[in-house]
Amino acid sequence: MKFAAIVGTNADFSYNRILLQYMKKHFKQLADIDVLEINQLPAFDQDLPYEEQSMAVWQFKQAVKNADGVIFSCPEYDHAIPAALISAIEWLFYNPKNILEQKPTMVVGVSYGTQATSRAQEQVRQILASPDCNAAVQAGHEVLVGKAAQSFNKDGNITDQAAVANLEESFTSFVKLTDALSKQTEEDNLMTLKQPFVNDAYINFPTGRLSFKEAQQIFSTIPFEIDLIDRNDRFAWFSDKPNREHVRHVNEINETVDECHPPKALPAVKAIINSFKDGSRDMVERPLIMHGHRTLIQYYALRDVDGSYLGTIEFTGSVEHIISLFENGAFADVTTGASKHGDDAATSETSADATSAASEETGAPVDDAADGAAKAKADADDTDATTSASKED
Amino acid sequence: MKITAIVGSNSKHSANRKLLQFMSRHFDDQDITVADIDQVPMFNENYPGGDPQPVIDLAQQIEQSNAVIISCAEHAHTVASSLKSVLEWLSYNLHPFANKPVMIVSVSSFPQGGSRAQMTLRQILNSPGVNAIAWQGDEFLLGNGDTAFNDHGDVKDEGTVKFLDKCFAEFITFAERNNAK
Ligand SMILES: Cc1cc2nc3c(=O)[nH]c(=O)nc-3n(C[C@H](O)[C@H](O)[C@H](O)COP(=O)(O)O)c2cc1C
Ligand SMILES: Cc1cc2nc3c(=O)[nH]c(=O)nc-3n(C[C@H](O)[C@H](O)[C@H](O)COP(=O)(O)O)c2cc1C
C-alpha cells in the first residue's frame, strides 16, 4: 500500500517533517510512505488558467492522486493550519478537479508546546470534510505530539513509548480503513492485478495465436514501453515493465488526454493526435536524454486495417544499446542487407521536428512551428533519423 | 476614525474587495482605506531577507489605524491561504494587530456567506501571536455574492445595507471605546 505523506509547512526545519520521516521508517513493513514537500509550490492563485499551472503543482497533484491514501502532518500557526498547507490543499481540490475526492486521509501533527496542534488538526479535518475536498477522513484517532524538542531524540525517533503505541494503533487503523475503501472499488480496479484475468484464453491472429499471458509478458519483456491513447482521447493502456522511462500508474487509466498530461505539454500532444486523426501524419519522433541516457520516443497513429484511426501509441525506449552496437561496428558487414528491408519505413517524415524538441526532457514534445517545418522537409527529401539527431547539438 | 480594510482574498475579481470598497464609499464619515494582499508572498519562517516590504507596509498601515476590518473569502470551509499567510507574517516579527479592534465581515457565493471562514478567522485573531480584539457583536455574512452587488458595486438589498449600517455603528462604538483606553 502506498501513502503520500504531506509535510504541512514550508519551513526549512520542521518537526512535522521529522514525524513523517519517522513514520516512513517505522512502518516500512506495513506500507510504502512517500514524504512530499510543499515548499516548492507557488502560492495558490485561483485566477491562474489551468494551462499555466507549474510543473511543481502538477507533480505534487500526481503524487497525491497516485497514492492509496494521504497523511497530512500539520503544524499549528496562530491556532490554525499554516497558510502554506491551506495553499497546497487549494491546489489539490480546485482546478481542474478535486483529487482528494474519497481519498483516505489521516491527520497527525507536532507542536513545540503542549497543545500538540489540537486546534489546527480539527481545522484540517473540517477542510478535508468540506464538499470542496470530500476526502474520507479518518476519525476516532488522534496523533498529537507535543513538546517537540523533547519528544524526538537526535536520530529522529520518538522517545515516549506511549506516543509510539498510539501512533502504531492509529496508523494500523488507517491502513485498514484505506484497505476497506480500496476493496470497495476493486472491481473497477482489476488493473491492479499482476495477472491477466483469463489465464488460458488465446487470441487468434492471422499470423498465429498468443495466450493472454504470453501477450502480457511480451509487452513486459521487449526493451521498449508502449502507451495507448484510444480513439476517444483516453489513456487506455500501458505496457507493464520494470524501470519504465515514463512512470505510469493504473490510477491514470481512463483519464482524458487533458488530465494525464502536464498543462504545458498539452498543446503539443493535441497537435500530434489531431494530425494523426486528420491523416496528415502517421508518426512523430523525438530523441532526447531521459534519466541520463539517450532515449527515442515515437508516436504512431494506430490505424485499423481500413486505415481508420484507432488511437495513438507512444513507443519509448533507451537507444544506448543500439547506438553502442553501431559504434562498435555491429552493422558494418550487413549494411547492404539491412537497407534492402529498410526502405519501406515511415521514419523520415517527422525527423526535423524531433530535432527541435530534443532538448526538453519533461516538457512538450513538438511545437506547431516545428511541425510545419518537418512537413515541408519531408516533402523535399528523405532525411533519416541519424542526420536529424546530429543536428541538435 | 482611521480604518484599514483588508481584502481577505488574492482573487482578481474579489467579491470581498467589492464589499470593502462599498463600505469605504458608504461610510464616508470614516477614513477607510482598502488594502489588498495579493502582493504579500507566502509566509515562510526562512524567507530570505526577513519580512518582505509589502508586509512591513501593511503592518505600518495597521499600526497607524484605529481599527481594522477584514473581509474574508471562504475556501473549503476555512480562510483563503492568501489571508492566512498575511496573518502569519503579522504574528511573527511584527505584531500590528496587538489590541487592535477588528471587525470581521465576509462575502461568499453560497447563501451561508462565509460563516465557517469567519469562525476560523475569529479563532486566529484571538490566538496569542495575533492578539487582536475581534468584535463579537452581530455577524455580517453576505451570501450569494455573485448577485449581491449592482453595476456600481453597491450592495443591492436595502435590508442588508441597513443591517450593515447597524453592525458598523456598533463596531465604531466598540472601537472608540478601545481606542480611548
Ligand atoms: C507564525 C507562527 C505561529 C505559531 N503559532 C502556534 C500556535 O498557535 N500554537 C502552537 O502550538 N505553536 C505555534 N507555533 C510554534 C510551532 O508549534 C512550532 O514552530 C513548530 O515547531 C512548528 O512545526 P514544524 O517544526 O513542523 O515547523 C507558531 C509558529 C509560527 C512560526
Ligand atoms: C478554492 C475555492 C474554494 C471555495 N470554497 C468555498 C466554501 O467552502 N464555502 C463557500 O461559501 N464558498 C466557497 N468558494 C466560493 C467563494 O465563496 C467565492 O469564490 C467568493 O467569491 C470568494 O470571495 P472573493 O471573491 O473575495 O475571493 C470557494 C472558492 C474557491 C476559489
**B30-56 pLDDT, tens per residue?**
999 999 999 999 999 999 999 999 999
State how far the Cα of A142 lies from the Cα of A174, in Å rounded to an integer. Answer: 11
Which span out of A240-249, A303-312, B14-23 was modeled with the highest average pLDDT?
Answer: B14-23
Out of B74, B77, B104, mutate this one to test ligand 2's pocket (max ligand atoms within 8 Å of CB): namely B74
**Contact list, B75 vs chain A (CB under 8 Å):** 86, 90, 132
Whether the Cβ atoms of residue A45 and residue B10 lie closer than 8 Å to each other = yes
Rounded to 5°, angle at Cα A74 from A71 and A79? 150
ipTM: 0.91
Q: So what's the architecture of A222-393 in CATH?
A: 2-Layer Sandwich (3.30)
For residue A364, name the pLDDT band (cuts at 50, 70, 90).
very low
Ligand 2 atom, smallest distance to B145 CA = 21
CATH 3.40.50.360 domain position(s) in chain A: 2-181
Cell numbers given for A324: 553502442
The CATH homologous superfamily for domain B2-177 is: Flavodoxin domain (3.40.50.360)
For residue A199, name the pLDDT band (cuts at 50, 70, 90).
low
On the question of pLDDT at A351 being above 60, the answer is no
On the question of pLDDT at B21 being above 70, the answer is yes
Query: Picking from A284-298, A379-393, B140-154, which range would have the lowest pLDDT averaged per residue?
Result: A379-393
CATH class assigned to A2-181: alpha beta
What are the pLDDT digits (tens) for A153-169? Answer: 999 999 999 999 999 99
For residue A183, what are the CA distances in angstroms to A176, A177, A192?
Answer: 10, 10, 11
Handedness of CA B100, B103, B108, B113 (dihedral sign): positive
Ligand 2 atom, smallest distance to A46 CA = 31
pLDDT over 70 percentage in chain A: 80
For residue A5, what are the CA distances in angstroms to A36, A176, B81?
Answer: 6, 17, 20
On the question of pLDDT at A341 being above 70, the answer is no
Asked if residue B131 has its Cβ within 6 Å of ligand 2, the reply is: no
Q: How far is the CA of A227 from the centre of ligand 2 (A)?
A: 38
Ligand 2 atom, smallest distance to B10 CA = 27
Q: pLDDT value at position A370?
A: 39
**What average pLDDT is seen over chain A?**
84
Q: How far is the CA of A264 from the centre of ligand 1 (A)?
A: 36
Q: How far is the CA of B16 from the centre of ligand 1 (A)?
A: 29
Among all bound ligands, the one having the nearest atom to the CA of A116 is 1
Distance from CA of B24 to the nearest CA of A (A): 25
Selecting from A79, A90, A129 the residue whose C-beta is nearest the C-beta of B81 gives A90
On the question of pLDDT at A263 being above 80, the answer is yes
For residue A204, name the pLDDT band (cuts at 50, 70, 90).
confident
CATH 3.30.450.20 domain position(s) in chain A: 222-393
**Hey, what amino acid is at A301?**
A
Render the burial of B160-170: b for 16+ CB within 10 Å, e for the rest: eeebbeebbee
On the question of pLDDT at A358 being above 80, the answer is no
**Contact list, A89 vs chain B (CB under 8 Å):** 76
For residue A184, name the pLDDT band (cuts at 50, 70, 90).
low
Q: pLDDT value at position A385?
A: 36
Out of B43, B45, B95, mutate this one to test ligand 1's pocket (max ligand atoms within 8 Å of CB): namely B45
Whether the Cβ atoms of residue A95 and residue A30 lie closer than 8 Å to each other = no
What are the pLDDT digits (tens) for A206-249? Answer: 888 888 888 888 999 999 999 999 999 999 999 988 889 998 88
pLDDT over 90 percentage in chain A: 68
Chain A contact residues (CB < 8 Å to B): 10-12, 39, 42-47, 77-84, 86-87, 89-90, 93, 119, 123, 126-127, 129-130, 132-133
